[in-house]
Amino acid sequence: MKISHRPGLSMVAVYALALPAFAQSSVNLYGTVDAGVLNMSNYSAGLGYLPTTAHEAGGWKAKDAGLGVSHWGIKGSEDLGGGMRALFQLQGNINSVSGVTGAANSTGQIAFFNQMSVVGLSGRFGEVKAGRQFSPMALAMQSTDVRGMRYFGSVLTALVGMNSASKAWIGNNSNVAFGTIYDDNTVLYTTPIWNNLKFDFAYSFGEGGGKANSQQSVTALYHSGGLKLSGLYYNGYGNNLASAQAVFTGANGGNPVAGAAAAAAAGFSPTANTNRLYSVGALYTTGPYTIGSQYYAARNPDHVLVPGGSDSLDMWTLGAGWRPAANINVTAGYYLVKDNKNAGHKSTQFAMGAEYLLSRRTWLYVQGATVTNKGANMALSPMYASPVAADKNVHAFMTGIRHSF
């Protein structure tokens, strides 16, 4: 066969010969935009999620993420044959009310693809992914929370309240005090489903070598008919170090050297075991009705503390849902966070919401919540990424629209 040496035809021939190799590949662009208006009382006048009784007046504001954060992403896979596939996924935040993209990673740097930047393989053996990704803990939390870990009034906002109660998490990075939703430098293995049960094993490598700044987690998810069960174990080293150094720096007149020394003297280090979280949960759906409950135990095994913070907290959740029609969903949840370190300190959150599905991709929603915070380190907020003052009651209401593409 004679092949022309003209550049244009040569490239066409090369691409034509390569086409069969890419025939089983796919790449998809996807995302969600979620925006509404929020009315909330007693915003915090302090630094991030560090508890303070200083507060600002409430009021109405435009707000991103009433149900979940606005985001966009690219994902794809390639059929490698023999039941094996290569895969990748890149996903990052979009603030729908400002247009800002990305958010902080575990070290506080702004990452464009702050939620997912993974590559992996799947097959009969299960799935292995490497990179920054959702902690399997997040999927366990979501699976048995009747409110579905929404950004307003759910187990997610209650978990943030638990982290705030440590007084060693500012909120300027995703490396929180108890558990994490996102993990950098992570290898995650998901088993095949066996008898309706699957496990996730994750290891996040620290940047200091060995166990320094590392995290480990195991989750189990069971789903059969209307029953879902979840269990999780999470452990981490050095999670509170950066925030603790910032807290002690502030207490030492803004001197970072004195702040770092004070944090070290208190026991904070890259290898301090300050992060452990256990949880079990159950959710059951029959017809249009759903009920669910969870228990969480947050512990700081090395008892390394910021003054006034907590190294031991428990959380209980209870929820119910009702679908009177296929396109209407009503949910309610009660969340109790109890501080075992500081007697009498606790937070309660009651949230309720209704969603009307205009289509499979477009939802209208309305939701309200009330929160009671008792104690100088208790500052649970019903709205994610919206810190409130400690030891104050909070009322919130939000309505909005969510569209996925």
Predicted confidence (pLDDT) at residue 18 exceeds the cutoff of 70: no
- Closest CA relative to residue 222, chosen from 335, 139, 156: 139
**CB-CB neighbours of 362 under 10 Å:** 13
Lookup: tokens for 114: 């702050």
In a domain, 38, yes or no: no
- pLDDT tier for residue 10 given thresholds of 50, 70 and 90: very low
Average of per-residue pLDDT across 97-115 = 93
Task: Say if CB 334 and CB 349 are below 8 A apart.
Answer: yes
Predicted confidence (pLDDT) at residue 58 exceeds the cutoff of 70: yes
C-alpha of 23 from chain center: 35
- pLDDT tier for residue 13 given thresholds of 50, 70 and 90: very low
Q: Can you say whether the dihedral through the CA atoms of 254, 258, 264, 267 is positive or negative?
A: negative
Residue with tokens 């490497």: 130
In a domain, 12, yes or no: no
Q: What are phi and psi of 118, to 5 degrees?
A: -125, 155
* Digit-coded pLDDT (tens) for 214-268: 999 999 999 999 999 999 999 999 998 999 999 999 999 999 999 999 999 999 9
Residues contacting residue 156 through CB under 8 Å, at least 6 positions apart: 141, 145, 149, 150, 181, 384
Q: What is the pLDDT of residue 355?
A: 98
Cα Rg for the chain, rounded, in angstroms? 23
The predicted model scores a pTM of 0.92
Q: What is the pLDDT of residue 104?
A: 92
In a domain, 275, yes or no: yes
Lookup: tokens for 340: 């075992």
Crossing angle of helices 155-165 and 136-143, in 10° steps, is 130
Read off the DSSP letter of residue 398. E
- Domain at 380, CATH number: 2.40.160.10
- pLDDT tier for residue 162 given thresholds of 50, 70 and 90: very high
Q: Where are the beta strands (DSSP E) in 237-345?
A: 275-286, 289-299, 312-325, 328-339
The structural domain count of the chain equals 1
Q: What are phi and psi of 67, to 5 degrees?
A: -100, -45
SS3 content of the chain, % helix, strand, coil (to 5): 15, 50, 40
The H-assigned helical ranges of 224-363 are 241-251, 256-265
In a domain, 59, yes or no: yes
Q: DSSP string covering 337-397, please?
A: EEESSSTT-EEEEEEEEEEEESSSSEEEEEEEEEEEEESTT----SBTT--B-TT--EEEE
Average of per-residue pLDDT across 97-106 = 94
Rounded Cα distance between 207 and 214, Å, is 8
Q: What is the pLDDT of residue 23?
A: 45
In a domain, 23, yes or no: no
In a domain, 35, yes or no: no
What spatial distance separates the first Cα and last Cα of the chain, rounded to whole Å?
47
Range of the domain at 393: 44-404
Q: What percent of the chain lies above the pLDDT cut of 90?
A: 90
Predicted confidence (pLDDT) at residue 131 exceeds the cutoff of 90: yes
In a domain, 24, yes or no: no
Mean pLDDT of the chain: 93
In a domain, 354, yes or no: yes
Q: What SS3 state is found at 259?
A: helix
Average of per-residue pLDDT across 271-286 = 98
Average of per-residue pLDDT across 118-139 = 96
